RNA sequence: GGCCCCUUCGUCUAGCCUGGCCUAGGACGUAGCCCUCUCAAGGCUAAAACACGGGUUCGAAUCCCGUAGGGGCUACCA
């Protein structure tokens, strides 16, 4: 039997970090086994599902590299299938029509709570409101006693008391299936073999098991992965910061970093931290997935992102950067210059945005001196040194890093100055600030004309002080 | 409240199944030092954990039982 996994988000928002990890696990598991990965949209909640959410989720999946082999299937387009199965259960006596309205149930639930008791649906109410044209929901007839056992790949056998499960609705009055019903029908008819999903669904499995049994379908292998928590150990939510894949993309994270981080959150492979997608596919097994909840740690994601930035070919990063720069009004293209810039700046950045934010001086015609830097380094004391350097560079035949270095060394020797003394003022003159790649690299990228122009500008700026 | 799940450094985790190799390993973060033209990167070092209490055993992070804490669910939401 070939492995088939699925990811089944409900389109009520963007792709959440937790959902993304579930998707990644399912994707990896399927690919590891040479099986297929199915995408299904659970849009049976008519009031909360939106097309925008669907688009955003699909977009985020593609960005992460999680391609699907089938789908996206939509539950809202499969209504007849659910109805058909519900009818079948009605015929076999495993389910029955219930005429109690949601409002009445709400009422009874409230009463029970006020009395301090536990609300439990009573089968006898089912027929009470019956009438020829009355709308009805369909409920599953569930056992009153015994235990319902579920085998989980991560947690072993989990058993529930049948008395905890009352006759629940499988088909709503509006003709839509409830979550538990739709999930089972879909997973069964799509021949899903392994269900990897969040811990929050563990409690649903006894209900689902009952449906599988009533329909004589095999129960897939379940694996309930723990949730991702925020720094306060509470379920990760907006107040913990960015929680959607889309936000991380906008902040300049690389998909490989996000995938790597999310996979390592709850899964491990010895002491290894960095994995390529191929390695992940090769090494991912459920056996190495942990059982306890994991706190989302933005610093570690940031570190991983910076690692990928440092190790990815500069040309590729340059390609990702161009659109970002365009938004900032910098019209760069993927050329030798940008590749050189990226090579230097990616060593010092945490995100793509960091790079985009710190290369202005390579493209602008005018540089603005940082006030403090100006005050500290562009001094009358250094003026002769700057002029000396300008003179030497002007007469330099080939403007290479080596030859520039030679000239700097001569100045250092003659004036008995350390490189630091000279490099900082030059850096301020060329970039406007005190932080940049190595000074020779900067000069090399800027090119002869700009370097000389800016050095002269700095000199006259000092003289005018 | 009831039911279910979980519990190793601040965080992600290795080790747990198949007790001794654990003086509990790695990574992020933090601190210090080195390197150094700034900032990074890199190198070295440090502080930092078996939730608690009972068993079982020659021996327990590892097995058993309790307790505590955390999380989840408790819908005609998914």
CATH of the domain at A139: 3.40.50.620
- The C-alpha atoms of residue A352 and residue A136 are separated, in whole angstroms, by 55
Burial label for A399, CB within 10 Å (0-12, 13-18, 19+), is: middle
- The C-alpha atoms of residue A256 and residue A305 are separated, in whole angstroms, by 8
Query: What percentage of chain A has pLDDT greater than the value 70?
Result: 99
Q: Is A398 helix (H, G, I), strand (E, B) or coil?
A: coil
- The C-alpha atoms of residue A50 and residue A77 are separated, in whole angstroms, by 14
Number of domains composing chain A = 4
The residue segments making up the domain with residue A404 are: 365-465
ipTM confidence: 0.95
Taking alpha carbons only, the member of A142, A93, A99, A136 closest to residue A120 is: A142
Q: Is A291 among the residues known to form the active site?
A: no
- Beta carbons of A266 and A297 less than 8 angstroms apart: no
Which of A182, A202, A225 represents a domain boundary (last residue)? A225
Question: Does residue A105 approach strand B to less than 7 Å at its CB?
Answer: yes
Calculate the CA A332 to chain-centre distance.
28
- The C-alpha atoms of residue A440 and residue A446 are separated, in whole angstroms, by 10
Q: Dump strand ranges (E) for A110-216.
A: 137-140, 147-152, 156-161, 169-171, 194-198
Query: What percentage of chain A has pLDDT greater than the value 90?
Result: 80
| CA distances to A61, A370, A453 from A57, in Å | 6, 42, 50
Nucleotide nearest the Cα atom of A423 (by C1'): B37
> In terms of domains, do A54 and A86 share one?
no
Taking alpha carbons only, the member of A386, A408, A404 closest to residue A448 is: A404
> In terms of domains, do A371 and A443 share one?
yes
- The C-alpha atoms of residue A431 and residue A443 are separated, in whole angstroms, by 10
> In terms of domains, do A113 and A174 share one?
yes
> In terms of domains, do A53 and A8 share one?
yes
Question: Does residue A31 approach strand B to less than 7 Å at its CB?
Answer: no
- Beta carbons of A260 and A304 less than 8 angstroms apart: yes
What confidence tens digit (pLDDT) does each residue in A135-158 have?
Answer: 899 999 999 989 999 999 999 999
Q: Provide the whole-model pTM.
A: 0.94
CATH of the domain at A457: 1.10.10.350
- Beta carbons of A305 and A350 less than 8 angstroms apart: yes
- The CA angle A93-A99-A100, to the nearest 5 degrees, is 120
Can you give the distance from the CA of residue A291 to the C1' of nucleotide B65 in angstroms? 22
pLDDT, averaged across chain A: 93
Other beta carbons within 10 angstroms of residue A168's beta carbon come to: 16
> In terms of domains, do A197 and A266 share one?
no
- Within residues 332-391 of protein chain A, the ones with CB less than 7 A from nucleic strand B are 347-348
What confidence tens digit (pLDDT) does each residue in A453-463 have?
Answer: 999 999 999 98
> In terms of domains, do A285 and A218 share one?
no
> In terms of domains, do A328 and A417 share one?
no
Catalytic residue among A134, A234, A238, A291: A238
Whether pLDDT at A241 is above 90: no
Q: What is the DSSP string of A340-378?
A: HHHHHHGGG-SSHHHHHHT-HHHH-SS----HHHHHHHS
- Beta carbons of A464 and A385 less than 8 angstroms apart: no
CATH of the domain at A356: 1.10.8
A429 Cβ contact partners less than 8 Å away, ≥ 6 residues apart: A378, A386, A454, A455, A457, A458
A372 Cβ contact partners less than 8 Å away, ≥ 6 residues apart: none
> In terms of domains, do A84 and A221 share one?
yes
Which of A225, A256, A282 represents a domain boundary (last residue)? A225
Question: Does residue A273 approach strand B to less than 7 Å at its CB?
Answer: yes
- Within residues 159-218 of protein chain A, the ones with CB less than 7 A from nucleic strand B are 159-161, 164, 168-169, 172-174, 176, 178-180, 199-204
Confidence of residue A133 (pLDDT cuts 50, 70, 90): confident
Instruction: Write out the two tokens for A100.
Output: 């109690």
pLDDT reported for residue A177: 94
> In terms of domains, do A219 and A91 share one?
yes
> In terms of domains, do A439 and A328 share one?
no
- Beta carbons of A150 and A213 less than 8 angstroms apart: no
Least confident piece of the model among A123-137, A221-235, A391-405: A123-137
> In terms of domains, do A303 and A230 share one?
yes
**Chain B nucleotides near the protein (CB, 7 A):** 1-8, 10-14, 25-29, 36-42, 70-78
Calculate the CA A269 to chain-centre distance.
21
Which of A196, A225, A254 represents a domain boundary (last residue)? A225
What confidence tens digit (pLDDT) does each residue in A95-124 have?
Answer: 999 988 888 888 888 887 777 777 778 787
Whether pLDDT at A266 is above 90: yes
> In terms of domains, do A266 and A232 share one?
yes
Q: Is A37 helix (H, G, I), strand (E, B) or coil?
A: strand
**Residue A420, CA atoms < 13 Å, CB-side half-sphere:** 0
- The C-alpha atoms of residue A415 and residue A410 are separated, in whole angstroms, by 8
């Amino acid at each position: 039997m070939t492995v088939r996994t699925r990811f089944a988000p409900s389109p009520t928002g963007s792709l959440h970090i937790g959902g993304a990890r579930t998707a990644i696990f399912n994707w990896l598991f399927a690919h590891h086994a040479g099986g297929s990965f199915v995408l299904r949209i659970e849009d049976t909640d008519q009031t909360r599902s939106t097309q925008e959410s669907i688009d955003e989720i699909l977009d985020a999946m593609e960005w992460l590299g999680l391609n699907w082999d089938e789908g996206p299937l939509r539950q809202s387009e499969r209504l007849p299938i659910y109805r058909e199965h519900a009818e079948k259960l009605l015929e076999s006596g495993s389910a029955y029509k219930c005429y109690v309205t949601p409002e009445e149930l709400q009422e009874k639930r409230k009463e029970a709570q006020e009395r301090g008791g536990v609300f439990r649906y009573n089968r006898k109410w089912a027929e009470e409101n019956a009438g020829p044209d009355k709308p009805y929901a369909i409920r599953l007839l569930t056992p009153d006693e015994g235990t319902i056992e579920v085998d989980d790949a991560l947690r072993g056998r989990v058993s529930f008391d049948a008395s905890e499960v009352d006759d629940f609705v499988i088909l709503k009055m509006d003709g839509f299936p409830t979550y538990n019903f739709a999930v089972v029908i879909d997973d069964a008819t799509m021949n899903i073999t392994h269900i990897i999903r969040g811990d929050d669904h563990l409690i649903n499995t006894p209900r689902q098991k009952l449906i599988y049994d009533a329909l004589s379908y095999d129960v897939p292998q379940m694996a309930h992965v723990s949730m991702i928590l925020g720094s306060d150990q509470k379920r990760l939510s907006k107040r913990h910061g960015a929680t959607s894949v889309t936000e991380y993309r906008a902040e300049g994270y690389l998909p490989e970093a996000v995938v790597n981080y999310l996979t390592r959150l709850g899964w491990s492979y010895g002491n290894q931290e960095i994995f390529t997608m191929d390695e992940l596919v090769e090494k991912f097994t459920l056996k190495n997935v942990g059982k306890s909840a994991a706190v989302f740690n933005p610093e570690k994601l940031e570190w991983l992102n910076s690692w990928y930035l440092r190790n990815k070919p500069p040309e590729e990063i340059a390609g990702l950067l161009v659109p970002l720069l365009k938004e900032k009004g910098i019209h760069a293209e993927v050329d030798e210059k940008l590749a050189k810039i990226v090579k230097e700046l990616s060593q010092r950045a945490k995100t793509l945005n960091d790079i985009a934010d710190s290369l202005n001086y390579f493209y602008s015609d005018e540089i603005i001196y940082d006030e403090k830097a100006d005050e500290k380094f562009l001094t009358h004391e250094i003026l002769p040194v700057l002029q000396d350097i300008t003179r030497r560079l002007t007469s330099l035949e080939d403007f290479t890093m080596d030859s520039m270095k030679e000239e700097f060394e001569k100045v250092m020797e003659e004036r008995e100055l350390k490189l630091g003394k000279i490099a900082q003022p030059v850096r301020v003159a060329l970039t406007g600030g005190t932080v940049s790649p190595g000074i020779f690299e900067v000069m090399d990228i800027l090119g002869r004309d700009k370097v000389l122009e800016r050095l002269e500008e700095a000199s006259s700026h000092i003289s005018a002080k």
